[in-house]
Each structure stands twice: as structure tokens, then as C-alpha cells.
């Protein structure tokens, strides 16, 4: 079983952008890719009367798969956590329903990319969270974090939550949702790397015009299927003796 579960430190940090870039890059290398975002909120009705999430559409286009119903079988209009959004819609699902939806997307020989909702502790049901879904599926995590003031706290809390659930973290991606002009944002990559054993794999630059392809070049520079297995709970706690800086974009002074 090859693939990743992409989660984030928050909503709006760039999970879908990163997952789409990763799917596109893998396809460009001739690798079969299957994407799945089993549940999405904030979906909108299109002209054909279909309730579709923008995230789902973006993922499907990147993966060359427009079977949106299969890609995201549980879609809700209210932009809220999935548990609340489902309840407001008079709908219900179990975490096993979400696991089954992902398993149906898997394909022999393909890399499976599963995108979560919000952060790792986002409620999915009355009792379960994204972390429980990731644990049930068994894929290593890629954690996307916003490059901004406050992200170090969000990152370390996310990694602690992953460890408490026995989840393997393959690495961290910092995503610029706006230009990193303040001191904290500029220093976040180094400050994170000297405090964590979880590797910082890439920094996605702020890119108002994706056609420039800078983010895609950065993602394409990494051997994602070849990332080493770190085992559940390994590489998550801070306090290494020496800094490990391994991100794919050279840090500006």
C-alpha cells in the first residue's frame, strides 16, 4: 500500500494546493495516482445540480479523474466541521464509511493520496477525528502548515497529536498563503528544523500565478514514494542535539 494521508495544522493552509501539485508531479513521472477526499464541507451547487467542493474539483483535475462522486462521496454545503455539517444537513455517516470510500479508490500499483479536512483533530463524527481516520487507513502523514506567525505552536501540537495516535509522519510542508514579510514567517523554517526531528521537506512559495510553476518545480524535486519509513511516533518530538535542515527551497536571509 503506497501513498500518503495529507493533513494540516488548520483549515486554509494549502492542503489541496499541495496535494494537487503532488498528484500532478507524480503523473508527470508516469506514476499512477489515485486521489480521495472522502468528506468535504463548504461545497456548492453547480449548474447541473451537483453539490461539489472546489477542493474535490481541483484534486480531480490534477489527478486526471473527474469522477467527483467517487473522489468525495460525502459532501456538505455548510462550511463547518464535517460532524456539524452532516448533522445540519440531516445526514449521517460513520468513520467506517469513510474508510470504505478510500479503499474503493485504491488501485494496485498506484500511489494513493488522501486529503483530510481542516486539522488533524477536526471532528469527523460525534466521537472521532481526522486522526482516527488516518489511524484506520494506515498511511504515513504529510503535514501542511501555513508559513506565518504562530505556525510553530500549531505544528508542534499537530505532531504531538499524531504521536499520541501512533501515526507515522513522513514530513512537513510549509505553505506560503501570503508573502512571508514579517520576521517570524521568514525564520519559521529554520526555527522549526532546529527543534524537530520531523523533516521539513519543502516550502511552497506564495504564487498568485500558478502558471509560473515554481511550486510544482519544488514538489517535483522530491522522491516522494522513496521517503524513508519512520515508524509510528518516530521523528516527532523536539529537542534534537543538532539541527536538521532538509527543505527543498533555499531559505532567504
Beta bridge partners of 5: 114, 141
Task: Name the 3-class secondary structure at 6.
Answer: strand
Confidence at 228, pLDDT banded by 50, 70, 90: confident
- CA nearest to 66, candidates 84, 46, 83, 81: 46
pLDDT of residue 242: 45
* Antiparallel, parallel or unpaired: β 200-204 and 169-175: parallel
> What dihedral do alpha carbons 54, 55, 60, 62 form, nearest 10°?
110
- CA nearest to 143, candidates 182, 196, 77, 200: 200
- CA nearest to 248, candidates 175, 148, 168: 175
Predicted TM-score (pTM) above 0.75: yes
Residue-wise pLDDT tens digits, 122-174: 999 999 999 999 999 999 999 999 999 999 999 999 999 999 999 999 999 99
Catalytic annotation, residues: 37
Is residue 99 within 8 Å of 64, Cβ to Cβ?
no
Residue-wise pLDDT tens digits, 27-62: 999 999 999 999 999 999 998 889 999 999 999 999
Q: Is 228 exposed, middle or buried (0-12, 13-18, 19+ CB in 10 A)?
A: exposed
Distance CA 118, CA 106 (A): 23
pLDDT of residue 209: 84
Residues 6+ apart with CB under 8 A from 229: 140, 168
11 grid coordinates: 483549515
Residue-wise pLDDT tens digits, 57-113: 999 999 999 999 999 999 999 999 999 999 999 999 999 999 999 999 999 999 999
Confidence at 251, pLDDT banded by 50, 70, 90: very low
Please name each of the domains of the chain with its CATH number.
Answer: 3-220 (3.40.50.300)
Residue 243 scores a pLDDT above 80: no
Amino acid at each position: 500500500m503506497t501513498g500518503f494521508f495529507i493533513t494540516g495544522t488548520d483549515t486554509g493552509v494549502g492542503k489541496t494546493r499541495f496535494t494537487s501539485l503532488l498528484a500532478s508531479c507524480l503523473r508527470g513521472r508516469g506514476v499512477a495516482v489515485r486521489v480521495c477526499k472522502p468528506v468535504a464541507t463548504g461545497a456548492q451547487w453547480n449548474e447541473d445540480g451537483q453539490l461539489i467542493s472546489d477542493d474535490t474539483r481541483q484534486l480531480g483535475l490534477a489527478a486526471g479523474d473527474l469522477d467527483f462522486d467517487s473522489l468525495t462521496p460525502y459532501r456538505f454545503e455548510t462550511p463547518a466541521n464535517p460532524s456539524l455539517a452532516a448533522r445540519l444537513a440531516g445526514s449521517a455517516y460513520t468513520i467506517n464509511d469513510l474508510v470504505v470510500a478510500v479503499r474503493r479508490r485504491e488501485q494496485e500499483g498506484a500511489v494513493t493520496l488522501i486529503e483530510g479536512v481542516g486539522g488533524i483533530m477536526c471532528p469527523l463524527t460525534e466521537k472521532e477525528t481526522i486522526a482516527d481516520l488516518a489511524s484506520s487507513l494506515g498511511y504515513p502523514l504529510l503535514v501542511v502548515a501555513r508559513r506565518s506567525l504562530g505556525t510553530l505552536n500549531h505544528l508542534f501540537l499537530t505532531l504531538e497529536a499524531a504521536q499520541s495516535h501512533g501515526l507515522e509522519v513522513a514530513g512537513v510542508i510549509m505553505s506560503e498563503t501570503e508573502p512571508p514579510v514579517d520576521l517570524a514567517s521568514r525564520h519559521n523554517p529554520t526555527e522549526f528544523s532546529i527543534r524537530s526531528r520531523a523533516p521539513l521537506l519543502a516550502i511552497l512559495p506564495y504564487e498568485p500565478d500558478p502558471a509560473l510553476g515554481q511550486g510544482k518545480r519544488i514538489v517535483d524535486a522530491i522522491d516522494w514514494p522513496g521517503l524513508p519509513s519512520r515508524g509510528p511516533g518516530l521523528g516527532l518530538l523536539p529537542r534534537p542535539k543538532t539541527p536538521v535542515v532538509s527543505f527543498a527551497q533555499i531559505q532567504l536571509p
